[in-house]
Structures are given as structure tokens and as C-alpha cells.
Amino acid sequence: MTKTKILISTDSAAIHTGLAETCRLVFSDLLARYPDKYEIHQQGWFHVNPSEQVPWQIYNTNVKQTANGMELDPDDRYGQRSFEGLLAKIKPDIVWTNGDLWCFEHLLNSPNRNSFRLAAYYTIDGAPYFGGWLQPNKASEWGNKLLKADRLITLTEFGQKVLSTGCPELKDKKIDVIYHPMDMSRFRILDKDQRVNERKKLLSSQVPPNAFIMGWIGRNQFRKQNHKMWEVLHYMRYGDYIECNHCNRITVKEWDWCTQTSINGTYRYEAGYDYKQCWYCKSTDVVPGKPIDDFYLWQHMNAKDPGYNVSVQQRMWKVEDRVIVSGQDNTSRGIPPKVLAELISTWNCMIYLTGGEGFGVPAFESLMSGVPVVYANYSSHADFCKYGGLPVRVGEFVPEMVYGIHRSVCDTGDAVKQLLWAYRNQDELMNLGKNGRMFAMTKSVTAITDQWHNLFTEMMADPIPQQGNKALYAQVV
Amino acid sequence: MKYSHLSLTWFGDITSCSGAAYYARSILEPLIRGGASIKLEPANFGAPQLELSPWWTDTLNRLVQSQPGYIKINHCSPEQVTANVLGGPNVLLSTNSVTYMFPTNWNGLVNRNHSEVIFPITLPDYLTPGVSIPKHVLPIPVQEVQNSELSKLTINSIPPNTFVFGYFGPWNQVSNIQDLITAYVSEFSTNDDTTLVIKTAGSAGADANQKAHIIELVKRIKGTVGKPDHPPVTVIQDVLSDSTVSALINRFDAYVSTDRGSHFNVTLARCLALGKPCIAPEFGAGGYYKKILPGDTRMLRTIPCFKEPVTSHPGGNPQDRWGRIDIDAAMKFMRLTYNEVKSNDKIFQKHSQKTIDLMQAEFGTEVVADKLASKLASLMPFKPMVLGK
């Protein structure tokens, strides 16, 4: 029986990134369960310092001689130059890619595009999504390009909806949704006592083992809106807000970052507003917030990423002694996945106020650990966090400068409200976490690989474009 | 089995994406199915190879091992002929696509090695002065049948209502795609909702760099037209199966060629067979089909050319000429054709159907196979009881 030959084009399966893990999990399982059906090859992006073994050959992108020795050629970072040679050598039935559009655009525009079937697995992290130009109801820059994929797959329903509503060309195109696969075996769910015991191994004596810890994993970068965590932590720690008994909303007090005191309305509220009534419903049935002494933030990130200045931000909000920062200084190296999973399981909840995510692997890993997520209610991660989390309203949107993709900035008061609920209802919070885990368990590697197997089988039912008589891809000048 | 009296060896390109190979497959299939004894000697002249249908793959495997036939058909240019049979007739079925005059240095190859020569179009004696063996005409057979079962290809970058001018052929000096692009870009703009599709396959082994080079050439040619609003040019460089090509041609709204006077224009024949209006030089195949088609000019507008010396040509005949087309006329014809098709002109539709009917009646594969069989039967040492039934 002839095997379906697949050429993967994404992060090398041998390194530790989200893209690498997806590829490693899916295709390892595919080969293990269908050894007679598939032959796998990979052009691996960033294939340096490989630390994982996979049962297929990984081909480097180009390297070049520099003053520092042999290094990856930046002009061939995603195989823009070397892909065609590999394509001619391997002659795959299907090319599978996973990344951002600029990473696989050369596949869409390949002069040999009609000689292979292309499955583009694509992350959408915000809306609108059309590129540098849009003719409403007619055409868009990115829709025009994405149309050249035989199959388009997004990681969540958010991405599917954004693409089909934002790009007129994709309105009628079938867009599949396949979740990121999860290796269930490394995740554990802890009860209260187990959590305390684990924390005793991890935490210094200055942090009580039964403290409330909200955790976070990610890069230190604008899109992640890291600053919101320190801000929210401030209000939880110092209680400088009012709680309305009428509408249940939280009105946070304005904070002067220099004098380090709360102030009456100046910028956020009308001048002179003195917090004697709820800002939202104007009720006077309000109570002041209370400081919480055992509330902590654990951030697992590379603090040296060129993002927010961590020490400045913490100091502005006066929360230095409530933040634990872990994480290596090389983002692509990471820590072993099992160790990370163990860390997550020690938290009370994850705080995920990101401005936009293509999927949100850390949030999903949190659900896997039975740890509920307090999450920004926008973008891909919201699709699954709703099964095991507390949504935080978007307060405002900030568009990216070039393409206008909106990043959410969550409403601080709503975030505080949800965290207060979490802190005050810790038993119910644990149940919420268990519910999230039950949903996450449906996205096992086997379940996800079955979806891919079905998709590849469907693709192979049609000939490659140059052999069929239905559709062709062309280059337009 | 109406061709069981025929015994021949067929030498030539059968398996590539070239026009000559398409011709071979079109005419051989009815002969083979009709019982002719055929030994196949497939030749590779450098065009990209096709993935053949299962029937053709089996047939090739079987017939390359057959006994040599009585008549040898060389379906190629004279210089591509290899060994001929001794004793039986050797017939050149010329795929010569060069312009105007049959190269003089081929005369010897033709006269010495063959007893008959068959051209795809009528070539008057003054264009073949050195050919001393009997000359015949056998037109290009077309497989295409315009009916509801024929697919119309979707090209992803072309919205359904876009008017498509199509060209299909090699990129070389004779095909002269430069003038085609210049005429199209000069006449149209993005307001016209049209595109020019150029389907061209590079040489066998054309890699991504060579394909990228073609794209650069298109950009450069477009850049020479000094106006700000350029309509898009769509380029397809893949080797396509026969059925994909048929579906692609069916997507064309009109066929345009500005070649320098090719005798052997398979795509022109295929487009006419599908009722597509065509624009081609009056020099070469365009002039030939013009004489055959019904009186109205709409289905085939021939671009006036003036003859100029050939600058690069095998044979180096100082009397040889090729055509330089009148670009203004090409532009005008493209605009006229665009308007007629877009307006759903009823007279145009009537002529389109007439052309389809005529092409099927004169150039369908069974018809042309019969003509060839009839010619070959006259060369056989024995005659069938009933010819052609």
C-alpha cells in the first residue's frame, strides 16, 4: 500500500516551543498508530540544539558562515529559499505547516504550488484580520493569500470565525478547527493538602504554603499585557477599591505611581470623584476593599525578554514582595514540560489577561491541571477557558499599528471582581478547575490525531491540483 | 476493428506535456482501440513529462515491446529522426513549429529518409521549395468536446466573473509572449475586471529559480508599459494533465497568441474546438484556420503581421521570415472580443456553436485518425475489404 508522504514545515520537532510540541505530538502518534499509512519528513525551523528525538528525518534550513561560526541563515529562517529544493527531492503528497502567515507565505506562493496539497494550520489571535488592505465584501490582502491553502485549519472557533467574517474570500471556504494536542500523562491534579506539600518544596519560608497564588506563564511582551497582572495584584493586595452591594461591581481607586498613594478622581474618573458611590450604578451602598496579605503572583517568564521592565513595573504598583519570577533567560530552551506541569498544579488559579492568543497553551495546560483560569474574554483561549475559568471583560481595545489587529486591555475592576470571587470561594474554585480538566481531557493526543488522520484522508481523496480538473493555484503579477 | 489492416511503428514524443505529444495521444488512441498493430517508440525531446492515465501507462508498456510495423511514422522535426525501417515506407508527420519557410537544411533529411511528408497546415510550394517527396496535410486532432460534462477550472486568484484572456505555450522567441503582455497591459486596466492567464511550462527540470525568472520577466515587461494602472497577469507554470488542460482552456473567455507565425499551434485548435473566440497572427496556423472557419470574423481574428528576417532559427535560411505583429491591432481585437463576450452577444454565441460543430466534424480525433488511416492504408501492401468501417 502506498504511504501518504507528508512534508512538515514548522519549528523543528526536536526543540522546545509550542509549535514544535504540536508537531511532535501529532506526528509521533500518527506514525505509532498508522505505521503503514504515513511517511513523514520535516523541514525544521530553528533546528539548533535539538533535545527531543522523533521518528522522522528533520532537514535544516540553510546555514551560513559568520564571524561566530556556522549560524542559521536569517534569509532562510522558515525555508523561504531551501523549501523548493526539498520539495523536488521528497515530492510529498501533502505539505503541512503551522505558524504565522509570514512563516509559510512562501509555500502559498510556491511556483510548484500545484504539485502538492497544502494544509495550513493557522493561529489567529485577534480581530479584525485582513492584512494591509480590504475591499469590503470583495477582497483582502490576507484572504487572497490564505485561499491558496487546500485546507485551512485554525486552533479554535475564534480563529475560524475571525477568518470567515474578516476575509471576504474565505466566507465560503471550509475552515476546520483542531485543538492543540495535549500529552495528558504529565499533568496532575492536586487536592488542597497535596498542594500545600508541593509548595513547601518550591517556596521560600517567606511565602506561606497555603497562600493564594495566581500563576502565569508566557513571554514578556506587549501582546501579553503583562502589566495588567501587577496592576491587578496591587488592588488585591492593598484593597484600594470599593465594592458595590447593588451592582456587585468593583470600582478601583486611582493610584499615583510616584507618591504611591490612592488619589481621588483625576484621569480615570471625573475630577474630584471620591469613591463614596459606585462609579457604575451610582449607588451609595458600597464597602471599601480589604487588603489581602496572602495573595501572590507567580510569573514564569524570561524577565530579560525585551518587553516590560519588570522591576520598574513592580515598583510602580508596590508589589515587589508579592511576585515570584521564575524562568530561564533563553526563551526557546524552556524547562522540561513535566516540570512546568508540576509547577502549574501548585497554583490556585492562573491569571491570563493576555491581549490576544493564537491558542494559549499555558491556559490549556492550566485546565489540564485542574487549575481554573481568570482570563481576558477575547481571543482564542476564551473558547476553552470558558469551561474552567472566570471571564474578565474587555475594558478597551488597542490596535496593532500596522494591521490594526486589536489587542484587548481588560477591565481592571472586573479582573479584581473575579479574583475576589476566586479567593473567597476556594472550594467552588477547585470544582471549576475540575470541570475545566474534564473538557481538556477530550483533547488528548489520540483524539486530536484522529482528527488529523481524517483530514489527511479527505485531502488524499482529491488529486494534486495539476492532476485534477477542478482548481489550480496561480501566481499573479 | 476498423484499423486492423494497419501495421506501423510510431516514433516521437508521446508522454510529455508538449503539443506534439498531445497530438500523438489524440490520434494514436483511436488507432489502437481500432485494432491497428502499432509498435510505439516514445522519444523524449526535453519537454516536461506528464503523469499519464492508467490506460496510456498500460498501453505504452505493452506496445513498446511489439514487433516493428510495416510503415514507420516519424512524428517529430526532421533532425530528430533516428533509425528508419528498411523496405517499408517512412513517413514524416512533421511537428515543425518554426515559421514561414521550411528550413533548407532539413530538405535532405526529409527527402532522403522519407517517402511522404505530412504537415499540420497547408504549406504552398514556394515555402517548401526543396521538398521533393509527396506532401500532404493532416490537421491537428482535438480531443476536446464542449458539453456539460467538461469541467471549467477554478483558478484561486481569479474571481468567477473575471474575463480571462488565455495563452498556452512555451516561452521562447517564436511564442513572443512579450508582445502579448504589452498589448494586454496597454489596452486594459484594473477597471476592466480582466486577467491574462499565461500557462507556460519550462523545460524538463525547470526548477523554482527558472520559474521565478519567468515571473521577473513578466514584471519587467509590464514595467515597460508606461501607464499607472496595470491589470493583473496570472502565471501558471505547472505541468498539467490532459484533463486539467481541457478544464483550463474551458475557463478561458478568449485565446490570444502573438506568436511569430507558428505552423503548429495545438492550443489554437483546442480553443476553437471549445468555441472560444481566438486572436492569433495571420501568419502560420492562424491564417490556416481562418480559411476554414465560417465567414464571420468573430471566432478567429487574425492579427496583421509583416514579415521580417528571422534572427534565430535552425537552418539559417536567408529567405526565411517570421512575423512581427501589429500590436495596435492586437489591442483592438482584444477589446472587441472582450466587449462581445461580456455583452452576451447572440450572434457571437451562434458563431461559437457553429465553430464547435465544425471543429468536431473536421478535426475530432476519430475524424483525423480516419484520414491518417486512409493515407497509411494506401501505403500498405494489401488493402482491406472495407476501408474505414
B378 torsion bin: left (phi>0), alpha (psi -120 to 50), beta (else)? alpha
State whether residue B237 sits within 8 Å of chain A by CB. Answer: yes
State whether residue B196 sits within 8 Å of chain A by CB. Answer: no
CB neighbour class for B212 (10 Å; exposed up to 12, middle 13-18, buried from 19): middle
Measured between beta carbons, which residues in chain B are less than 8 angstroms from residue A470? 151, 153-154, 247
Q: Is the pLDDT of residue B306 over 80?
A: yes
CB contact under 8 A, A477 and B218: yes
Q: How many CA atoms lie within 13 A of A241 on its CB side?
A: 25
A100 torsion bin: left (phi>0), alpha (psi -120 to 50), beta (else)? beta
Radius of gyration of chain A (CA): 24
Determine the pLDDT at residue B212: 85
Average pLDDT over residues B243-251: 90
| pLDDT top residue among A157 and A303 | A157
pLDDT in tens, A183-208: 888 899 999 999 999 998 888 777 89
| The model's pTM | 0.81
Measured between beta carbons, which residues in chain A are less than 8 angstroms from residue B206? none
pLDDT in tens, A236-274: 999 999 999 999 999 999 999 999 999 999 999 999 999
Shortest distance, CA A442 to any CA of chain B (angstroms): 36
State whether residue B357 sits within 8 Å of chain A by CB. Answer: no
Which one of B51, B155, B157, B178 makes the best mutation probe of the A interface by having the most chain A beta carbons within 10 Å? B157
Spatial separation of the C-alpha atoms in residues B110 and A62, rounded to whole Å: 53
State whether residue B211 sits within 8 Å of chain A by CB. Answer: yes
State whether residue B216 sits within 8 Å of chain A by CB. Answer: no
CB contact under 8 A, B234 and A474: yes
CB contact under 8 A, A477 and B233: yes
Contact at 8 Å (CB) between B91 and B376?
A: yes
Average pLDDT over residues A377-397: 97
Q: Is the pLDDT of residue B300 over 80?
A: yes
CB contact under 8 A, A476 and B195: yes
* Secondary structure (3-state) at B220: helix
Determine the pLDDT at residue A253: 98
State whether residue A111 sits within 8 Å of chain B by CB. Answer: yes
Q: Which residues pair with A45 in a beta bridge?
A: A11
Measured between beta carbons, which residues in chain A are less than 8 angstroms from residue B195? 476
Shortest distance, CA B155 to any CA of chain A (angstroms): 5
pLDDT in tens, B7-55: 999 999 999 988 889 999 999 999 999 999 999 999 998 888 888 888 9
Q: Is the pLDDT of residue A346 over 90?
A: yes
Minimal Cβ distance to A477: which of B232, B237, B243: B232
Confidence of residue B84 (pLDDT cuts 50, 70, 90): confident
Q: Is the pLDDT of residue A330 over 70?
A: no
Q: For residue B248, what is the nearest residue in chain A, using CA coordinates?
A: A469
State whether residue A401 sits within 8 Å of chain B by CB. Answer: no
Shortest distance, CA A386 to any CA of chain B (angstroms): 37
CB contact under 8 A, B157 and A474: yes
Determine the pLDDT at residue A234: 98
Shortest distance, CA B216 to any CA of chain A (angstroms): 9
State whether residue B248 sits within 8 Å of chain A by CB. Answer: yes
CB-CB neighbours of B263 under 10 Å? 23
pLDDT in tens, B165-203: 999 888 888 889 999 999 999 999 988 989 999 999 765
Q: For residue B211, what is the nearest residue in chain A, using CA coordinates?
A: A111
Dump strand ranges (E) for A329-403.
349-352, 373-376, 389-392, 394-399
Percent of chain A with pLDDT over 70: 99
State whether residue A141 sits within 8 Å of chain B by CB. Answer: no
Confidence of residue B389 (pLDDT cuts 50, 70, 90): very low
Q: Is the pLDDT of residue A304 over 80?
A: no
Q: Is the pLDDT of residue A34 over 90?
A: yes
State whether residue A259 sits within 8 Å of chain B by CB. Answer: no
* Secondary structure (3-state) at A436: helix
Which value does ipTM take for this structure? Answer: 0.83
Q: For residue A112, what is the nearest residue in chain B, using CA coordinates?
A: B238
**Best CA proximity match to A17, nearest among A156, A170, A113, A123:** A123
Measured between beta carbons, which residues in chain B are less than 8 angstroms from residue A474? 155-158, 197, 234-236
CB contact under 8 A, A114 and B195: no
Dump strand ranges (E) for chain B.
7-12, 37-42, 71-75, 90-93, 116-119, 135-137, 154-155, 163-168, 194-199, 233-236, 254-256, 278-281, 300-303, 305-309, 321-325
A-to-B residue pairs, Cβ atoms closer than 8 angstroms: 93
Kindly report the CA angle at B160 between B159 and B163, in degrees rounded to 5? Answer: 85
Confidence of residue A163 (pLDDT cuts 50, 70, 90): very high
CB contact under 8 A, B154 and A468: no
Which of B:25-54 have CB within 8 Å of A? 51
CB neighbour class for B384 (10 Å; exposed up to 12, middle 13-18, buried from 19): middle
Average pLDDT over residues A452-465: 95
Place of cell 504550488: A113
Q: Is the pLDDT of residue B386 over 60?
A: no
